[in-house]
Amino acid sequence: MLKGKTIILGVSGSIAAYKAVDIARRLIRDGATVKVVMTSSATKFVTPLTFRTLTKQSVATELFTENSKSKICHISLSDEADIILVAPATANIINKTANGVADDLLSTTLLAADVPIIFAPAMNSKMYLSEATQKSLNRLKAFGFRVIEPTLGELACGEEGVGRLAEVDTIVEVIKFETAKEKDLKNRSVVVTAGGTREEIDPVRYISNRSSGKMGYAIANELTKRGAKTTLISAPTYLPTPQNVNFISVSNASDMQREMLQYFDKCDAVIMAAAVADFTPAEPVSKKIKRNKTGNFSLKLKSNPDIIKELGRIKKKQILIGFAAETEDLIENARKKIEEKNLDLIIANDVSKPEIGFEEDFNEVTILNKKGIVKKVPRMTKREIARIIVDKLVDVLD
Ligand code: C5P
């Protein structure tokens, strides 16, 4: 089942490192080529020789070597891999990766990788539950990495708690599942927009909206995972930039439209998740507006370009997917928009429900095409919803 797959097994310094020997053995038994990268503290628990004997591959531990191979090791390692598994993943490697720290071979390999990365944490429960580690794990998930949660039980330090490495069976199953997913968007080019545009009133003020960008970023991450050449045109957000996307930062709707038109001709699909402001100040001013004597101030607005509507007018073969964030008559309004804007699919979400939609990690959507409802997606994480949206894109592209 893993025949032809190359798996990098990153082993970091936890007592659970001995279980990585079993993981390697199981992956090899299923046909994989396993290349082990060990941190220096991992070598204190298990010797590189154990893995070398088992995997019949050299074990990498050093960032700087005199090895004369043509490619630099931390780059070539991830180039060769189908997937990277870090098991056991210590608090140290998790917190480092979440912050882009690259100070040894494993962390550098992770930063340079453009293949799926899976972490299987193992550590003391206090370290696992600490705010720093939890935040880092959430960041890793937001980057699109998978985390195989540790289990409850007796820990090496004698305490009971959460932090035991997941069962070897579970880890191997996840690897099989992840590697089985085809790169079904290979050779496809997709442009995604995200975030709420900022329409400048003066040098210090702007009009914007509550979009966090989470949905669009999750879609961009999913697209790259599935092999698409992804361009993410993003209005300002507080999210980490996804890895391996062509990232274009914009501020207002006109900038977003200009950038979009640069990429539109050559792309296969556009997913417009950005909350583009419908209006913009008619006359932005270059100096900060001061209070006036009356104490009142009125702002004249003009219409912004409807970016996706314009794309709907000029499109050739491109698939267009839009969003409809509504507070009433969700399906009816979505149906109207798909026609008006000449879209292939529309993702309708009810933003009047407080626990889903804007700023939240969860969403609940209905996907429609021109004929009607394609799928109702119940409340789930934006990452999972992104996967379903990309599945639907694949269906339409085929
Ligand atoms: O009309 P409404 O703003 O609800 O349409 C939502 C869809 O249209 C979203 O996909 C959004 O990104 C896109 N849109 C746009 N340009 C605008 C306004 C919305 O592309 N000016």
Give the start-to-end residue ranges of the domains of the chain: 6-180, 189-281+298-397
How would you class 368 by CB atoms within 10 Å of its CB: exposed for 0-12, middle for 13-18, buried for 19 or more? Answer: buried
Of 276, 304, 345, which is best to mutate to test ligand 1, by the most ligand atoms within 8 angstroms of its C-beta? 276
Tens-place pLDDT, residues 307-344: 999 999 999 999 999 999 998 999 999 999 999 999 99
User: What is residue 154's predicted lDDT score, i.e. its pLDDT?
Assistant: 82
The rounded distance, in Å, linking the Cα atoms of 87 and 85 is: 6
Q: Which of 92, 63, 73 is nearest to 35 (CA)?
A: 73
Preceding peptide of 305 cis, ω within 30° = no
Q: Is 377 in the pocket of ligand 1 (CB under 6 A)?
A: no
Tens-place pLDDT, residues 138-175: 998 877 789 999 999 888 878 788 999 999 999 999 99
Structure tokens at 125: 């429960």
pLDDT at 129 over 80: yes
Phi-psi sector, 158: left (phi>0), alpha (psi -120 to 50), beta: left
Q: Is 276 in the pocket of ligand 1 (CB under 6 A)?
A: yes
Query: Which whole-number Å values give the CA distances from 370 to 5, 8, 155, 319, 382, in the listed order?
Result: 40, 44, 55, 13, 24
Ligand 1 midpoint to CA 150 (Å): 41
pLDDT band at 357 (very low <50, low <70, confident <90, very high): low
Tens-place pLDDT, residues 172-227: 999 998 887 667 898 999 999 999 999 999 999 999 999 999 999 999 999 998 88
User: Do the first three CATH levels of 6-180 and 189-281+298-397 match, i.e. the same topology?
Assistant: yes
pLDDT band at 358 (very low <50, low <70, confident <90, very high): confident
User: What is residue 157's predicted lDDT score, i.e. its pLDDT?
Assistant: 77
In ligand 1, the atom with minimum distance to the C-alpha of 346 is 10
In ligand 1, the atom with minimum distance to the C-alpha of 277 is 21
Tens-place pLDDT, residues 113-126: 878 899 999 999 99
Residue whose CA lies nearest to ligand 1 atom number 10: 322
User: What is residue 72's predicted lDDT score, i.e. its pLDDT?
Assistant: 55
157 is catalytic: yes
Given the residues 75, 152, 156, 157, the one annotated as active site: 157
The rounded distance, in Å, linking the Cα atoms of 12 and 104 is: 11
Cα end-to-end distance, the chain, whole Å = 26
User: What is residue 394's predicted lDDT score, i.e. its pLDDT?
Assistant: 94
Q: Is 194 in the pocket of ligand 1 (CB under 6 A)?
A: no
pLDDT band at 356 (very low <50, low <70, confident <90, very high): low
pLDDT band at 376 (very low <50, low <70, confident <90, very high): very high
User: What is residue 66's predicted lDDT score, i.e. its pLDDT?
Assistant: 59
In ligand 1, the atom with minimum distance to the C-alpha of 273 is 12
Q: Do 162 and 129 form a contact (C-beta atoms < 8 A)?
A: yes
The rounded distance, in Å, linking the Cα atoms of 60 and 165 is: 23
Q: Is 323 in the pocket of ligand 1 (CB under 6 A)?
A: yes
Domain 6-180 matching CATH 3.90.1150.10: the answer reads no
User: What is residue 70's predicted lDDT score, i.e. its pLDDT?
Assistant: 44
Tens-place pLDDT, residues 29-88: 999 999 999 999 999 999 999 999 999 998 988 876 655 454 556 667 777 788 999 999
Q: Is 322 in the pocket of ligand 1 (CB under 6 A)?
A: yes
- 189-281+298-397 homologous superfamily: CoaB-like (3.40.50.10300)
Q: Is 320 helix (H, G, I), strand (E, B) or coil?
A: strand
